[in-house]
Structure 1
Amino acid sequence: MTGPPDRSAGALFVARRAVASIDRDVRTRVIATLTARFGDLDRAEDALQDALAQALVTWPQTGVPESPEAWLTTTAKRRMLDALRRENVLAGKLAQLQTDSDRAPVPADFGDPADFTQTPLPDERLGMFFACTHPVLRIEDRIALMLRFVAGLTTPEVAHALLIPVPTAQQRLVRAKKRIKALGVPFHPPRPDDLPDRLGGVLRVVYLMYSEGYARSTGSSHIRDDITAEAIALTRTLYVLLPCAETAGLLALLLLTEARRPARVDSDGRPIPLSDQDRMRWDADLVAEGTRLAESAAAQRDAGAYTIQAAIAAVHAEARTADQTDWAQIAVLYRLLEAHDPGPVVRVGRAVSVGRAFGPSRGIEMLNRLASNAALDRYRPFHVARALTLAELDDHDGAAAAYRRALELPGNEAEDDYLASALAGLGRDP
């Protein structure tokens, strides 16, 4: 304990301050521990709230424990067990939990809440990552769950992050929790044999989250810094819990991309193309950290698509000016990436890199071969890539048509302004 028992107003103030200081990481770890044991997100949330309320009653009398997280975990676990007993249901589950508890070593902090030390609790959030991104859930529900239960945002904060009404966020969370419960989705990492397949789903959700913050699909502004920050924080947590090539690769990719943030928009908020950015404004610390992670990931045997994308970002970061970019190396990396992910978006990236390395005629030839792809016809960056390449070839009519098609597709208003300006720069009307 941090001090002797005291019922004074001072002790109450200290207890309240201690409860208020419990951050999102602690709350998410406690919920992850409870769901790993009981498999019920709703009960885990309620039990944590009960434990926090109990702390305001108990800590002024006993003092703040040395490990508040352990105290909260144990108290919340007991509340969940008591609730199950009172309802007189799930008797078989209680018996199984008791059997599991008897067989497994009990952490020291699962003792009496009055006797806690600083012994760290096991971090169960890796299981939460996999439960919240399970393939049986809709992609929009996975993102909402990740923000709510892994990032630790409140439901109104989730709604704000996703630009949806609070009731809609509540509906997504309730729907996802019901599906998890009905299908018995486990709150623990998959078996080693299943890990490669399942990890991809986790990484994709975080990547999509970052992508939405990096270039918003709707709205007035081009960038959402709060969303990119949450995605990076989640990736850092995932990398700590599961340090492998692809988690390192994704973290490297996000950091190297985020390093460009100070130079990505002009004073009016319009996007600045990579070739025109002031690289002196890039965040040198993020570049250094991202490059180290990219090199570490590339040296591992299980390197995959995110590691290759990180390598591409690192090549961009190494160039002091746009003209010094090693596009030939990037083209090779895109060819390797296509072997892992032969999707149309990767093919667009490869076509652009080939055009930069070996001339716009080669680039437009590859882009034109992709023009019949229905998904790419609805993909704004594809038409922007064609417009830029055609402009290099002095085909201003073709470039204008490509810009107009891009403007027909959904995007944020800042990006619309940039495309309209580019179109005007060709001497053409929108």
Structure 2
Amino acid sequence: MAAARPRIVAALAARFRDLDLAEDAFSDAAAAALVAWRQQPARDPAAWLWRAAMRRAIDARRKAAVRDRAQHDLPQPEATPEEILIAAREPIPDERLRLIFVCCHPALAPESRAALTLKVVCGLSTERLARAFLVGAPAMLQRITRAKRKIQAAGVPFAIPEPSDWPERLDAVLSTLEVAYAQAFEDAALTDDAAPFAAEMLRLSGVLAEILPQEPEVLALAALVRFAEARRPARLDGCGVMVPLEDQDPALWRRDLIADGAVLLERAAELGRPGPRQVQAAIHAAHLSRAETGATPWIEITKLYDALLAVRADVVVQVNRAVSRGKVFGPGEGLSALAGLADEPRVRAWRPYHAARAQLCADADHYEAAIQALQAALRLSPPPAERRFLEQRMSEATKALGRSRPAR
């Protein structure tokens, strides 16, 4: 059901021009499926959900018309080509792409565009979105609600804009794909509801790269996703424990995706318009060079993070830069780089910050502080594979602390 949701919600929203109606209709259809499929499982679940959601959307419109004192029911709408294709086993992606561009309309506040898209198109919960954007859940709910009202009030057309109008929406579209992919990448084992985004964002980023081959940031995002997915086979050990990047076996990395990403990044560089995603992709490429050289080029990576910080000074970049500086200049330097973030509540609620601090503290032989940081990370509901990794690190730090204490 989760895999079919984005396609169906996108098609319903395009058909009825109402985001809330589309979401509610799919939720009702999914609830009905839980009952109906117990007796007889659907041969084509996506088609079943689509038909059920369409019926519920039509019924809701009819009831709304009655409430508005309409004298007749709304006629049964004729099926559009998109609605017919949505029932196929492999429906075309155009409706999802269309809705992404609708939700990234310039009439919406910049901070609302990606959040609304991820809520409607990808079905991420408000709580998960709040964690992704490092804000509180009430603030995120308010942001999404305002954006939906703005779309309704402004009569935003549910159509892909003309290419001449793409530039003003493109950065928000790319940010949406980036955050959606990050949600899938977060869980090394791909066990949660964001798992389908890994393959979907790999595909969608490739579609955009084909449509916009002269946009370097589009090419760079496609390269970045391929570089990150290339490491997927090495991210779990035989016991289901997450393996951090520096400990992964490069022999397990997918050479085909690395090669595809390298071509895309080279094409982006040739266009001569640098941007933050090109720097991010270059950082991924530098890590992957270990497959050829046998060593991670931490000095080069640190310089790239310095460059990225100049154009994207967000928390993610600052934490990763601190880790790289710790590798080059020693853990004390890395901890100093993290120190300025410690007082921000949103950072304290972000698991990777605590995990990075724990590693730097352990590298500096500050085992009590490492244990405290690991405990903080474990309190923030890590996915199962990461939890096992953090618990493993906790055990190692506890043993090291015991060894470092003088015998009585």
| TM-score tier (shorter) | 0.5 to 0.7
Residue number among 394, 406, 417 corresponding to 2:377 in the alignment: 406
Alignment partners' CA distance in 1, 2:161 and 2:356: 40
Q: Does 1:143 align with 2:113?
A: no
Q: Which residue of 1 aligns with 2:297?
A: 326
Residue number among 346, 350, 353 corresponding to 1:382 in the alignment: 353
Q: Does 1:280 align with 2:251?
A: yes
Alignment partners' CA distance in 1, 2:293 and 2:344: 30
Q: Which residue of 1 aligns with 2:232?
A: 261
User: How far off its partner does 1:249 sit?
Assistant: 0.7
Aligned-pair identity in percent equals 37
Q: Does 1:426 align with 2:397?
A: yes
Instruction: Give the SS at the match of 1:296.
Output: helix
The equivalences for 1:296-315 within 5 A come to 296-315=267-286
Alignment partners' CA distance in 2, 1:400 and 1:388: 10
CA contact (8 A) 1:222 1:413 kept: no
Q: Which has the larger radius of gyration?
A: 1
Q: Does 1:229 align with 2:194?
A: no
Residue number among 195, 198, 202 corresponding to 2:173 in the alignment: 202
Alpha-carbon RMSD across the aligned residues, in angstroms, is 4.3
Q: Does 1:133 align with 2:104?
A: yes
User: How far off its partner does 1:341 sit?
Assistant: 0.8
Instruction: Give the SS at the match of 1:397.
Output: helix
Residue number among 240, 245, 251 corresponding to 2:210 in the alignment: 240
Q: Do the aligned partners of residues 388 and 223 (structure 1) sit closer, same or farther apart at CA in structure 2, a change above 3 Å counting?
A: farther
The equivalences for 1:7-406 within 5 A come to 128-134=99-105, 135=108, 139-147=114-122, 180-187=151-158, 195-216=166-187, 221=191, 225-243=195-213, 244-320=215-291, 324-406=295-377
Alignment partners' CA distance in 2, 1:311 and 1:399: 30
Structure 1 residues not aligned, in runs of 5+: 1-22, 45-86, 88-109, 111-122, 149-157, 164-172
User: How far off its partner does 1:317 sit?
Assistant: 1.1
Instruction: Give the SS at the match of 1:310.
Output: helix
CA contact (8 A) 1:275 1:322 kept: no
Alignment partners' CA distance in 2, 1:341 and 1:176: 24
User: How far off its partner does 1:224 sit?
Assistant: 5.2
Number of aligned residues = 312
Q: Which amino acid aligns with 1:413?
A: P
Instruction: Give the SS at the match of 1:303.
Output: coil
CA contact (8 A) 1:253 1:290 kept: yes
Q: Do the aligned partners of residues 383 and 29 (structure 1) sit closer, same or farther apart at CA in structure 2, a change above 3 Å counting?
A: closer
Q: Deviations over 1:29-88 (max 9, x none)?
A: 9999x87xx9788999xxxxxxxxxxxxxxxxxxxxxxxxxxxxxxxxxxxxxxxxxx9x
Q: Which amino acid aligns with 2:155?
A: G
TM-score w.r.t. the length of structure 1 is: 0.61
Alignment partners' CA distance in 2, 1:127 and 1:220: 27
Q: Which amino acid aligns with 2:207?
A: T
Alignment partners' CA distance in 2, 1:322 and 1:424: 32
TM-score w.r.t. the length of structure 2 is: 0.64
Q: Do the aligned partners of residues 377 and 254 (structure 1) sit closer, same or farther apart at CA in structure 2, a change above 3 Å counting?
A: same
Alignment partners' CA distance in 2, 1:216 and 1:387: 19
Q: Which amino acid aligns with 1:231?
A: M
Q: Do the aligned partners of residues 29 and 380 (structure 1) sit closer, same or farther apart at CA in structure 2, a change above 3 Å counting?
A: closer
Q: Which amino acid aligns with 1:396?
A: Y
Answer with 201-210 or 221-230: which moved more.
221-230
Q: Do the aligned partners of residues 427 and 223 (structure 1) sit closer, same or farther apart at CA in structure 2, a change above 3 Å counting?
A: farther
Q: Which amino acid aligns with 1:302?
A: R
CA contact (8 A) 2:103 2:114 kept: no
CA contact (8 A) 2:100 2:117 kept: no
CA contact (8 A) 1:249 1:307 kept: yes
CA contact (8 A) 1:345 1:376 kept: no
Q: Which residue of 2 aligns with 1:81?
A: none
Alignment partners' CA distance in 2, 1:124 and 1:383: 39
User: How far off its partner does 1:411 sit?
Assistant: 2.1
Instruction: Give the SS at the match of 1:386.
Output: helix
